[in-house]
Amino acid sequence: MEDTNKSKIIVGIILGIIAIVVIVLLCLKGCTKEFTVSFDSNGGTEVSSITVKENESIEKPANPKKDGYTFAGWYYYDELFDFDTKIKEDITLVAKWVDGDNRLVLASTNINLLENGQEEIEVLSYPEDLTINDLVFISSDESIVKVDSNGKLTALKSGTVVITVKSEDGKYEEKVTVTVNQKQEEQPSTNNQEVPKTNNTGTSKKPTGNTSSSTKPSGNSGESSNTKPSTPAKPTEVLADGVTITGGNSVDVGSQLHLTANVTPSNATDKSVTWSIVSGSDKATIDQNGNLTAKASGKVVVQVKTTNGKIATKEITINSVKPVYSIVMIPECIEVDGMAPQRYTFKVYKDGTKTTDYNKFIYNGVEATPRSYSIVTEAINREIKSVSIQTSTGNYIATVTYEEIKKC
C-alpha cells in the first residue's frame, strides 16, 4: 500500500512538471511579438502590408507601378531599405520614383571605395523587356577598378573610373562614378557615442527597435546636490563622402524640372549643397532648391556640390516645344487691271497669336514673306487646307482657313 502511494506521488509530480513546461511554452509562444511593415507606394499601385515576428526579416515585395515613372526602391526615412534588416517595431517604407517609365535605375551613381575594397552595383529596376542577366558592366580603367559580370567591384589602386551599366543591345545605359582612396592608418577612437541618423527634415531618425536610455531625466532625481553631472561627449562629425542627383532627364522649354541631391552617408553632419549649371547656362537656370527652369532647347549639365567638396553632375536635355501655326485668309475687294476685283490678305498665327515669326510660305506658287502681306490672284483654290511655313528653327505645317468672299 505504501509503495502504491509513493508511485502515485511520483506520477503526480511528473505530470505537474509536464503541465508547467506546457504552460511555459504556450506562454512563450503567446508572448512572441509581431510587427507590421507597411508600404506607402507614393502614388503607385497598392502594396499589402506584411506581419513579421520580432527580429525576423521580410522578403522584398513585387515592385509597384506608376504611369510615367520607374520604381527606384523602398526607403525608410531618407535611406534605401535593406530587406535583411531585422524588424523590431512597426515601420512604414515609402516608394521612390524617377521620371520616365521603363528605365534602368541604379541605387547610386557615385561609389567610394578604399584600396582592396569591394562593393556590388545594385540595380533597383530595369526595363520589362530585359532580365538582370542582359546587363553588362564595363570599367573605364581596369587597372583601378575591376568589375565582374554581376556588377561586383574590386578596387585595386587610388583613382577614379566610370562603370558603364548597359543592356547588351545598347538600348539602355547608366553610368556609375567610382572613386578609390588610399587606405589610411586607423586612429583609436576616443568617442564611442553613436551619432543619430537624420532624415531630410533635419530631425533625428527614429531607430529600429526599442532602445533603453541611460540618460537621467532633468529635475529632482533624489541625488545629492553636490553630485556633478557628467559632461556629454561631443558628437563626432560625419563628413559627406558622396552625393548623387535624382530627377528627370529632360524638360520642355518654358517648363520647370525639380532635381534632388542625395548626400551620403545618410547621417552626414552637414547635408547642405550648392546647385549650379556648369554647361549651357544660356539655356536654363537653377535655384538652390534644385528647381531648373528651361529657357532654350539643347543640353545643359547641372552640378551639385557639398560643403566639403563632393560633386555630382547630371546632363539634362531641354526639348523645344513645337509651335502651332495657322493662317487665316481674308478676302478684300480691289480694282486690278486684267484681274477679277478680288484680293486675299492673310494673317499668320503662332500658338493662337498673330506673328511675323516665319521666313516665308508658298501658296499657289506665290511666295509670301513678312514684307509682303497680300496675295493677288484671279482664282484662289479654297480647297487648300494647309501650307508649309518656313521658319528659322525649321519647317512646320500650317492649317489654312478662309473667311467668306466679299461681293464687290
Tally of domains in the chain: 5
Q: Does the structure show a pLDDT above 60 at 89?
A: yes
Residue 2 in domain:
yes
Q: Does the structure show a pLDDT above 90 at 292?
A: yes
- Separation of alpha carbons 227 and 234, rounded Å: 21
Residues 315 and 378 in one domain: no
Mean pLDDT of 50-75: 90
Tell me the CA distances in angstroms from 42 to 59, 82, 352, one per residue in order: 20, 19, 38
Q: Over pLDDT 90: what percentage of the chain?
A: 30
Identify the CA nearest to 350 among candidates 330, 376, 324: 324
Residue 234 in domain:
no
Residues 107 and 178 in one domain: yes
Residues 77 and 150 in one domain: no
Question: What's 60's domain CATH number?
Answer: 2.60.40.4270
Question: What's 305's domain CATH number?
Answer: 2.60.40.1080
Q: Which of 99, 130, 151 is the last residue of a domain?
A: 99
- 363-399 in b/e burial notation, b at 16+ Cβ within 10 A? beeeebeeeeeebebeebeeeeeebebebeeeebebe
- Separation of alpha carbons 286 and 274, rounded Å: 10
Residue 196 in domain:
no
Looking at mean pLDDT, say which of 11-20, 179-188, 247-256 comes out highest. Answer: 247-256
Question: What does the pLDDT read at residue 155?
Answer: 93
- Separation of alpha carbons 159 and 178, rounded Å: 8
pLDDT band at residue 80, thresholds of 50, 70 and 90?
confident
pLDDT band at residue 381, thresholds of 50, 70 and 90?
low
Residues 284 and 311 in one domain: yes
DSSP string, 312-355: EEEEEEEEPPPP-EEEEEEEE----TTS-S-EEEEEEEETTEE-
Residue 219 in domain:
no
- Separation of alpha carbons 292 and 258, rounded Å: 6
Question: What does the pLDDT read at residue 369?
Answer: 60
For residue range 52-62, what is the model confidence (pLDDT) as tens digits? Answer: 998 999 999 98
Residue 229 in domain:
no
- Separation of alpha carbons 398 and 173, rounded Å: 38
For residue range 136-184, what is the model confidence (pLDDT) as tens digits? Answer: 999 999 999 999 988 999 999 999 999 999 988 888 888 999 999 987 7
- Separation of alpha carbons 92 and 77, rounded Å: 9
Mean pLDDT of 20-44: 79
Residues 68 and 19 in one domain: no
Domain residues for 165? Answer: 102-182
Q: Which of 99, 117, 142 is the last residue of a domain?
A: 99
Mean pLDDT of 243-258: 89
Residues 143 and 88 in one domain: no
- Separation of alpha carbons 100 and 184, rounded Å: 42
ω before 188 within 30° of 0 (cis)? no
Mean pLDDT of 293-312: 91
Residues 108 and 160 in one domain: yes
Residue 362 in domain:
yes
Q: Are 278 and 315 in contact (CB under 8 A)?
A: no
Residues 331 and 392 in one domain: yes
Q: How far apart are the first and last CA of the chain?
A: 142
Question: What does the pLDDT read at residue 32?
Answer: 73
Average pLDDT score over the chain: 78
Residues 265 and 311 in one domain: yes
Q: Does the structure show a pLDDT above 80 at 398?
A: yes
Residue 309 in domain:
yes
Q: Which of 81, 99, 117 is the last residue of a domain?
A: 99
Residues 21 and 67 in one domain: no
Residues 299 and 339 in one domain: no
- Residues constituting the chain: 408
CA 135-170-299 angle, to 5 degrees, is: 120
Residues 95 and 56 in one domain: yes
For residue range 258-275, what is the model confidence (pLDDT) as tens digits? Answer: 999 999 988 888 889 999
Mean pLDDT of 276-297: 91
Residue 335 in domain:
yes
